[in-house]
Amino acid sequence: MSHKKQTLGEFIIENQTAFKYSSGELSSLLNSIRLAAKIVNHEVNKAGLVDIIGAAGDVNIQGEDQQKLDVYANDKFIQTLTKRNIVCGIASEEEDDFISINSQDENHQNKYIVLIDPLDGSSNIDVNVSVGTIFSIYRRVTPVGTPVTKEDFLQQGKKQVAAGYVVYGTSTMLVYTTGAGVNGFTLNPAIGSFYLSHPDMQFPEDGHIYSVNEGNYIQFPQGIKNYIKYCQKDEGDRPYTARYIGSLVSDFHRNMIKGGIYMYPQSSKNPEGKLRLLYECNPMAFLAEQANGKASDGFTRILDIQPKELHERVPFICGSKNMVEKAEEFMRLAQE
């Protein structure tokens, strides 16, 4: 069977034996994410036709206006994951606290928890720019059969067993890893199946794209300012090209394919950083490292950070290895 013809479902089944906890549960979990992604994709693609775009009137835990599609995507992923009876807990960027799921069976044996950003970049919906879903999967650390606790969710990123994202763009893609490389699947909307289109995705070691919101330049730490100036210099293989969409999933996806660096540093406005460690940075860092890239807060490997709270924010620098290392060098030099 050629790579082009293999469906996501077939790929998951074929590769589940390579996964060290091969019980079929993780495969079922990935399949339920696939299903929810198709449902959300359908809504995203008709967002301009129905009364689903715009703010929902609620503000989420982050203090941001919730978009109607955020709420819809959040509900769909939670419903799909809950109904399948394969997870024992879910944490969402849209929910104040984690959700504990106990199956009908009192001796439920569910071992996995999911952390999800149901609709990343949703402020771009109204202007028809790509948005995405980010997910992160861990094995619980508390005893199986008991209700989950916060400890199950506050695990270091290096303990993830799977992570991925869906980008709802000109074509819809699901990209994921279970710790054995990164593979991308493109949705054929005519028949509703995802097909393996990007096997073994890798960041080029070097790139020519830097992605950062330069509108915040004046608030950035000196190390990042110096790195941006370095990117703009006409020397060697520079100047680099600036590309910034404002949807983490889209910026990451482009940089993984073409080579580049994405930066959302701390700033005087957001001294801890803006992106969430558990819902955005950890899953993207896991994908980056599995695709020969690197992810850092400027000084520390993202996957080594010990989370202290569900909605914790961190500075985030991620992408082609040599570019991230150069940015870290500028951060270190600025501290000296």
Euclidean distance between CA atoms 230 and 232, whole angstroms: 5
Among 175, 198, 221, where does a domain finish? 198
User: Does 226 show up as a binding residue in the annotation?
Assistant: no
The predicted pLDDT at position 1 comes to 42
The alpha carbon dihedral of 139, 143, 144, 145 has a sign of negative
pLDDT digits (tens, 9 = 90+) for 251-280: 999 999 999 999 999 999 999 999 999 999
Is 204 part of a structural domain of the chain? no
pLDDT, one tens digit per residue, over 87-124 is 999 999 999 999 998 755 556 788 999 999 999 988 78
CA–CA distance, 155 with 140 (Å, rounded to integer): 9
C-beta neighbour count of 269 within 10 angstroms: 9
How far separated are the first and last CA of the chain, in Å rounded?
56
- Assess contact for 93 and 117: CB atoms under 8 A: yes
CATH code for the domain in which residue 261 is found:
3.40.190.80
Look at residue 203 and tell me if it is in a domain. Answer: no
**How many Cβ atoms are within 10 Å of 4's Cβ, its own excluded?**
10
pTM of the predicted model as reported, rounded to 2 decimal places: 0.93
Q: What is the mean pLDDT of the chain?
A: 90
Predicted pLDDT at 126: 75
**128 pLDDT more than 90:** no
Write the DSSP symbol of residue 190. T
- CATH, residue 101: 3.30.540.10
93 labelled binding-site residue = yes
Can you read off the two tokens belonging to residue 133?
A: 């879903």
pLDDT tens digits for range 180-225: 999 999 999 889 899 999 999 999 999 999 999 999 999 999 999 9
How far is Cα 288 from Cα 204, in angstroms, rounded to an integer?
A: 11
Q: Where does residue 199 fall: left (phi above 0), alpha (psi -120 to 50 degrees), or beta otherwise?
A: beta
Please name which of 251, 241, 226 lies closest in space to residue 316, comparing C-alpha atoms. Answer: 251
Same domain assignment for residues 44 and 107: yes
What's the CA gap between 15 and 228, in Å, rounded?
A: 41
Q: What is the pLDDT of residue 3?
A: 46
Q: Does 120 count as an annotated binding residue?
A: yes
| 124 marked as part of a ligand binding site | no
117 is in an annotated binding site: yes
Q: Mind listing the pLDDT tens digit for each residue in 48-86?
A: 666 666 666 667 776 766 568 888 899 999 999 988 778
What single letter denotes the amino acid at residue 83? K
Q: Residue 2 has what pLDDT?
A: 46
CB 200 within 8 A of CB 181: yes
Is 280 labeled as ligand-binding? Answer: yes
Last residue of a domain, one of 172, 198, 224: 198
Question: Are 28 and 104 in the same domain?
Answer: yes
Domain match, 272 and 170 both: no
Region at 169 (left for phi over 0; alpha for psi -120 to 50; beta for the rest) = beta
Instruction: Provide the domain count of the chain.
Output: 2
